């Protein structure tokens, strides 16, 4: 029954596993909706793995039933391919001790396939096959047998060549192309497969020189990035494209090249990229979508915060101390409102870029200003000022972020000691709620003290600083009484 309905299960299979198995049967052309196809009935009658039985019937139209059966027998027999090389196995089995068992298996498969396809050619049976993945958007719909019958000129005369076709027809999602050049001797070759699984040959396999492989068996070891290939045969690109035609797609998409965004037309065979050609500039809308996707995939750290990090830290401080209407600017909150604050700035830059969008040029300060709450925003510089005036008259920058761009727990004012003489009260911001941490600097602008209580520093810390610094910087003022001494920006003259 379709989906196993009505069967008396001892232990019913998990619903996800049953759904996956049903989907696979549909993709192999063995089920059409909930009905078993003619190919499905023929495959069910062949005592072999479902994929191999289907491959046997589909390959017959290209290479004939006998050669298809001989190649399939290599895959159904309990034979280990040396260094995963099925072609080496096919050559050795003809003159080895397994030859008799292999030939008997091949004859059995040939006979049963002929018997159960009697009255209807295997070509007609295979024509009913819906190639795996055909239902995917943009994928081809070429029937499996159309591919198989078109491959007769691509398959050599021996079983060593035929086994590559049968393996490909059995597992088209495992058709794979090597990543990068042929590896150095003793190093494993890595492959990308149509279905997206990373594959790797055993070290030293002679197959490493093959650009394309049809893979019949893999070993998936938990905790490893790629599955290990246990049995495969070399094929060429033409055969790979014929067998896996339904996975062949071509579409335009945006791609990041560092911080530059490009539009490419990419031709793919499933997860394998075949060609990529630049086709023009992205539209502002495409740029905005690409930037948001990258932020969601990689985090907001991909954005060029620079000066924008300071405004973000100031807003974070206001939200923490005052709440609404000052916005939350954590990663999750910013991502949730990305269309509101990020997209306008991105699109404006894209409009100015004449097709050469560069993310590193994005002005994050201007982007974040879109989140400022009006009319409360008019008090931004009053509540969290960028600079504070010190007793010397200098307007000194307030730091809200560290040298890495990370928000400080409390804002910092770094200023030379001589500019603070007579300053008794530590400055406070955010309507007096937050005290500024003062980094008191030497004339060489090296920290000599850190305090958030100037009164206590002048009483307790300054005498020791004066004792250490007056000999090192004799041209600068180090008065005994810092309360009444005039603050100075320059060296000044040391009081007598």
In SS3 terms, 17-40 reads as HHHHHHHHHHHCCCEECCEECHHH
Q: What backbone phi and psi angles, to 5 degrees, belong to 202?
A: -60, 145
Sign of the CA dihedral 162, 164, 169, 171? positive
- For residues 26 and 367, which has the higher predicted lDDT (pLDDT)? 367
- For residues 26 and 156, which has the higher predicted lDDT (pLDDT)? 26
Q: What is the pLDDT of residue 339?
A: 95
Average pLDDT, the chain: 87
Residue 215 has pLDDT above 90, yes or no: yes
Q: What is the pLDDT of residue 145?
A: 39
> In the predicted model, what is the mean pLDDT of residues 311-326?
96
Q: What is the pLDDT of residue 401?
A: 95
Helices assigned H by DSSP within 244-362 = 284-298, 307-322, 331-336, 338-352
Q: Tell which residue, 172, 63, 171, has the closest CA to residue 113.
A: 63
Contacts of 83 (CB under 8 A, 6+ apart): 201, 202, 204, 205, 206, 207
Residue 119: pLDDT band by 50, 70, 90 thresholds? very low
Residue 418: pLDDT band by 50, 70, 90 thresholds? very high
114 exposure class (CB count in 10 Å sphere: 0-12, 13-18, 19+): middle
Q: Are 424 and 455 in contact (CB under 8 A)?
A: yes
Name the strand (E) or helix (H) holding 261: strand 260-269
Q: What is the pLDDT of residue 117?
A: 62
Question: Which tens digits make up the pLDDT trace of 174-208?
Answer: 999 999 999 988 788 999 999 999 999 999 899 99
3-class DSSP assignment, residue 214: strand
Provide the whole-model pTM. Answer: 0.62
3-class DSSP assignment, residue 119: coil
Q: What is the largest CA-CA distance in the chain?
A: 120
CA–CA separation, 496 and 494 (whole Å):
6
Q: What is the pLDDT of residue 282?
A: 85
Residue 316 has pLDDT above 50, yes or no: yes
First vs last Cα of the chain: how many Å apart?
106
Residue 155 has pLDDT above 60, yes or no: no
- Cα dihedral 230, 235, 241, 245 in deg (nearest 10): -50
Q: What is the pLDDT of residue 26?
A: 84
CA–CA separation, 258 and 440 (whole Å):
41
Residue 142 has pLDDT above 80, yes or no: no
Q: Are 359 and 261 in contact (CB under 8 A)?
A: yes
């Amino acid at each position: 029954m379709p989906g196993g309905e009505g069967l008396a299960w001892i232990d019913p299979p998990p619903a996800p596993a049953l759904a996956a198995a049903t989907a696979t049967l549909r993709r192999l052309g063995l089920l059409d909706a909930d009905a078993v196809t003619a190919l499905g009935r023929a495959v069910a009658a062949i005592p072999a793995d479902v994929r191999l039985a289907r491959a046997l019937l589909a390959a017959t139209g290209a290479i004939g039933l006998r050669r298809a059966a001989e190649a399939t027998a290599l895959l159904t027999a309990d034979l280990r391919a040396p260094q995963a090389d099925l072609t080496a196995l096919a050559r050795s089995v003809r003159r080895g001790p397994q030859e008799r068992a292999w030939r008997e298996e091949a004859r059995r498969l040939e006979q049963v396939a002929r018997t159960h396809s009697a009255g209807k050619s295997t070509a007609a049976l295979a024509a009913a096959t819906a190639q795996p993945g055909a239902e995917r958007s943009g994928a081809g719909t070429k029937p499996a047998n159309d591919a198989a019958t078109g491959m007769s000129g691509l398959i050599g005369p021996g079983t060593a060549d035929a086994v590559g076709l049968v393996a490909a027809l059995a597992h088209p999602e495992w058709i794979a192309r090597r990543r990068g050049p042929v590896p150095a001797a003793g190093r494993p070759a890595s492959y990308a497969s149509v279905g997206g699984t990373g594959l790797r040959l055993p070290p030293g396999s002679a197959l490493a020189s093959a650009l394309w492989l049809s893979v019949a068996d893999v070993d998936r070891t938990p905790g490893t990035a790629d599955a290990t290939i246990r049995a495969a045969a070399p094929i060429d690109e033409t055969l790979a494209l014929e067998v896996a035609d339904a996975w062949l797609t071509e579409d335009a998409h945006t791609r990041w090249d560092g911080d530059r965004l490009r539009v490419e037309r990419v031709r793919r065979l499933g997860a394998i990229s075949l060609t990529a050609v630049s086709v023009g500039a992205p539209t502002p809308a495409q740029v905005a979508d690409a930037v948001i996707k990258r932020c969601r995939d990689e985090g907001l750290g991909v954005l060029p915060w620079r000066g924008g990090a300071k405004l973000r830290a100031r807003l974070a401080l206001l939200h923490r101390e005052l709440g609404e209407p000052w916005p939350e600017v954590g990663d999750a909150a910013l991502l949730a409102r990305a269309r509101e604050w990020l997209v306008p700035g991105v699109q404006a830059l894209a409009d100015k870029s004449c097709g050469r969008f560069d993310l590193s040029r994005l002005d994050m300060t201007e982007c974040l200003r879109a989140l400022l709450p009006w009319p409360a925003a008019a008090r931004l510089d009053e509540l969290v000022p960028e600079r504070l005036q010190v007793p010397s008259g200098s307007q000194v920058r307030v730091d809200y972020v560290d040298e890495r761009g990370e928000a400080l727990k409390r804002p910092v004012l770094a200023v030379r000691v001589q500019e603070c003489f007579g300053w008794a009260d530590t400055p406070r911001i955010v309507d007096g709620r937050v005290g500024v941490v003062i980094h008191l600097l030497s004339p060489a602008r090296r920290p000599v003290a850190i305090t958030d209580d100037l009164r206590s520093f002048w009483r307790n810390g300054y005498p020791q600083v004066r004792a250490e610094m007056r000999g090192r910087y004799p041209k600068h003022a180090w008065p005994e009484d810092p309360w009444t001494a005039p603050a100075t920006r320059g060296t000044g003259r040391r009081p007598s």
